[in-house]
Amino acid sequence: MRVDCNFYGSVPMPDAGAGDPRPVDRRYGNRDVLACYANLERWASTMDALGYDTMWLTEHHFQYEGYEVTPNLVQFGQHLASRTPRLRFGQMFNVVPQWHPLRLAEDVALAQILTGDRMVFGVGRGTVPREAQSLGAMVASGDNEMSREMDRQNREIFEESMEIIKAAWWNERFSFSGKHFVLPPPGIPDRGSFVSDLTLVPKPIAPIPIYQPVGSPDTLEYAPRARHLGVIPAAPPGVVKPKWDRFAEAAAAVGWALSPGGGRCLAVNCHVARTTAEARAGAQGPHDEWVKFLAQYGRFRSYATRDGGPTPFDFRPTVEDSVDQGVMLIGSVEEVVDGLGRWRDLLSLGHVVLFFDMPGLTQAQMDEQLRRFAQEVAPRLGIRMDGPRTYAGADAAHVPDVPVN
């Protein structure tokens, strides 16, 4: 099994928990942000030494509240690659509608070259209007009552952008004419003629795996059709399994035959300790702060309520809900082994992305999480923690049969 970690990228937050302050009342400065960056550098080195495969970071902008303070994940991953000998780096996720697709294509290609082919490419559509609209995009959110019109336009821009990125990567010359982009724009004079096509410089030196979060019915159809590897966030097993299976069915329908469990990974929160009580105590504040911040975006709608009624859009689960419903791996070594083992059996799981880094976790706690999983959980599951591997056919399955120039 391939084992990665995703990092939320929050500033040190010793008062994390369910109570005050509210997320909107938090405000941190540059010194706190730099402390977060120092921690990420430390944990990249720890992950590399312990044999994890890929370190993922989370893109957001203007986050004075202290959550997710890493705005340029390609640049940050390139920096971390310079400080580690083998770890791979990915973005969970680049918010594609907030970037010009050609600048993003260039940045990722260049980062792949400079890191020695240690970059993977995660793409998403975003969640936060404050950053999307400030950066010239739009997104459906709980802040705008999940606007269908904003979601439609966001999806259109995302899908056109991905077409452009791939065309630029895998063709010597390319042009594109769509609803939102025309590249090159018509009528550009160039040394006695007019520009009719473009050439990306540089291009990738090898196939770049493309990962996309999948949850909605539309994305479950689009991602396999686009040959994007699916990232499915943990939810109650009865929610995850149909999505997992539908992804494979949609892939098969377009001629992409996946091995059992192939082409997809499971992203799951995890907190492991010597005992159940220690794990729940250690996870309590970070779990509740994470829930407090993300509930307003509908993050926990997949949970069941205790009374069996409809789950509110802004539902806020407790640690007990997250554990009892099988959504998070919070417990003793034995309990986390059993929980991950159940996911492996249910999904034929071959790739997991662990999310230890809920806000409020201390440096010492994160160090312990990385080591305890690698040294105590993984061996009990027969997982070899020996660093990045080549996954024949899996990571490159989405790449067209076009030679890399």
Whether the predicted pLDDT of 140 surpasses 90: no
Give 390's pLDDT tier (boundaries 50, 70, 90).
Answer: low
**Degrees (nearest 5) of the Cα angle 152, 158, 163?**
130
Beta strands in 103-203 (DSSP E): 121-124, 176-177, 182-183, 189-190, 193-194
User: Tens of pLDDT along 280-334?
Assistant: 999 999 999 999 999 988 999 999 999 999 999 999 999 999 999 999 999 999 9
Predicted pLDDT at 145: 73
CB within 8 A of 152, min separation 6: which ones?
none
pLDDT (mean) for 232-250: 97
Check if the beta carbon of residue 370 is closer than 8 Å to that of residue 43: yes
Rounded distance between C-alpha atoms, residue 397 and residue 227, angstroms: 7
Mean pLDDT, range 169-198, rounded to an integer? 97
Domain spans of the chain, in order of start: 2-380
Q: Which residues contact 43 (CB under 8 A, 6 or more apart)?
A: 5, 7, 55, 366, 367, 370
What digits encode the pLDDT tens for the residues 125-139? Answer: 988 889 999 999 988
Largest Cα span, the chain: 75
- Residue 371: how many other CB atoms lie within 10 Å: 13
For the entire predicted model, the pTM comes to 0.94
Q: pLDDT tens digits for 330-388?
A: 999 999 999 999 999 999 999 999 999 999 999 999 999 999 999 999 999 999 999 99
Q: Taking residues 16-31, what's their average pLDDT?
A: 97
The CATH class of the 2-380 domain is alpha beta
Look at residue 389 and tell me whether its pLDDT is greater than 90: no
In three-state secondary structure terms, 271 is strand
CB atoms near residue 196 (< 10 Å): 11
Tokens representing 378? Answer: 């993984």
**Mean pLDDT of the residues in the chain:** 94
Please give the pLDDT value at position 400.
Answer: 42
**Between the CA of residue 281 and those of 234, 271, 276, 285, what are the distances in Å?**
21, 10, 9, 8
In sequence order, the 6+-apart residues with CB closer than 8 A to the CB of 329 are 268, 269, 270, 271, 272, 335, 336, 339, 340
List the Cα angle 333/10/292 in 5-degree steps.
80
In whole angstroms, what is the distance from residue 241 CA to residue 243 CA? 5
pLDDT tens-digit readout, 86-111: 999 999 999 999 999 999 999 999 99
Contact status, residue 278 vs residue 272, Cβ threshold 8 Å = no
Q: Side-chain half-sphere of 9: how many Cα atoms within 13 Å?
A: 26
Amino acid at 103: R
Report the C-alpha gap between 40 and 314 in whole angstroms.
30
- Asked if pLDDT for residue 401 goes beyond 70, the answer is no
The pLDDT tens digits for 148-164 are: 998 999 999 999 999 99
Q: Is the pLDDT confidence value at 41 over 50? A: yes
Q: Which residue has the tokens 């509908």?
A: 298
pLDDT value, residue 144? 81
Q: Which residues in 49-161 belong to E strands, given as ranges?
A: 54-57, 88-91, 94-95, 121-124
